[in-house]
Every structure is written in structure tokens, then in C-alpha cells.
Copies of this chain bind each other. A is one copy, B any other.
Amino acid sequence: MLKKLAEEQLERLLEAGVEEFALQGLAGANMRTIAERAGVSVGALYKYYGDKEGFFRACLDRSLEALDAVLAEVIGKEAGFREYARRIIRALLRFSREHAGYVRLYCALAASGGKDARELAREIEGVTSRLYAGTIAAGQAAGDLRRDMDPAMLAFFFDNLLMMLQFTGCCDYYRERFRLYCGGTPEDQEERLERELLKFLEAAFTFEEAGIIHEA
């Protein structure tokens, strides 16, 4: 077959690559397999992306763009922390559902070591860390959130729970783990998961030590 590689085929290449890299890692992924899965010749794969490393980077970039898009959508609207958290959780749950491959790749990369991993961290977490810390500090100033905790740490724990939320939705290990803890799959339990996480966060973020309950 010699027809021009359609947009759609390039799309399929990236999808297949994201999936394969997420599953097998950079070293374990097989370029021929990826090309076959995408229904494209190896030559075409190399023509478009140069080499394995380059193709890997393209898959990664694609994942990051998708994640950025989701976050941008949430971040845009001004809101209090509660509303804000709810929106993020819902957005990430949807992202997990719709772009499981990206999350898997993200999880795999975060697990890999070396300079690349550190750079990736700066690339991905740089934005969110500042964003969360800012929003939380504002919430503290407004009296909406507890003042007895370091906003940086609050943001950190918040993001920890969100990262785990995503992995739970997409990665085999984390899905199975969810089943052990809560029964069922993350999808079936999505509503419950969202509700309970919000309760958990609500308490963690608003309760102030010494029993002095912050005004609702």
C-alpha cells in the first residue's frame, strides 16, 4: 500500500507509541511492533520521527499537550478551593478515562530515573506546583483554608493524591490495588471515589488543629 500517510495514520502511530512506551519502557518498546500496530511501514515511522528517541519524545510531547489542555480548561475559571478541587478531580477522572495511554506513559516516565526524569518533572510539575500553592495561599488568606499548614506542603499532598488518582484510573498495578482496597474498578466506583476524596480533602484542608473548627 503506497497511499500518503494520512493525519489519521500519524495519529495512530503516536497512539501506538504512547501505549507501547508506557507498557514496555523506552528500551523495551519495539519500533516494528509500533509500526505494525499503527498499520504503517517502519520506513514511514522513521521518516517522520528520525529515530526511536525522537519518536519517544514525540509521544511524550503529545501526552503533555493533552494534559496541559485539560488543566488549562480547569484553571481558567476563577473559583474557591472546594469548587476548584472538584473541577480538577472531575477533569482528571475524565482524562484518565479518555487518555489512559498518556497517563500510563506519564507514570512510566516518572518511574524511570536519570536527568530526563528530572527535566520532565520540571516540565510537568513546574506549572501545577506554582498554581496550587498560589490558590491555596489565597484560600488561607481568605480564611477558607486552614492557616496552620505550610501552603507548599498542602499543595504537595494535594497533588500527591491527584497523581495517585490518575494512576489508579489507568495503570494495571494501581487499578488492581484499588480493587483490593475498595472493591470494583475505578470506573464503576468513580462517583464514590470523587465524593470520598472530596470529603477527605475538605477535612484535611479546613480543619485547624486544637479542635478549633474553622468557620464553614
Contacts and interface: CB of A to CB of B under 8 A. Distances in A.
Interface residues on A, range: 35 or more
A153 interface: yes
A172 B203 contact: no
Given A117-B171, A209-B203, A210-B213, A180 B126 contact: yes
Interface in A145-203: 146, 148-150, 152-157, 159-161, 163-164, 167, 171-178, 180-183, 192-193, 195-203
Given A25-B27, A27-B28, A118-B176, A157 B111 contact: no
Nearest to A160: B164
A70 interface: no
A205 B202 CA distance: 11
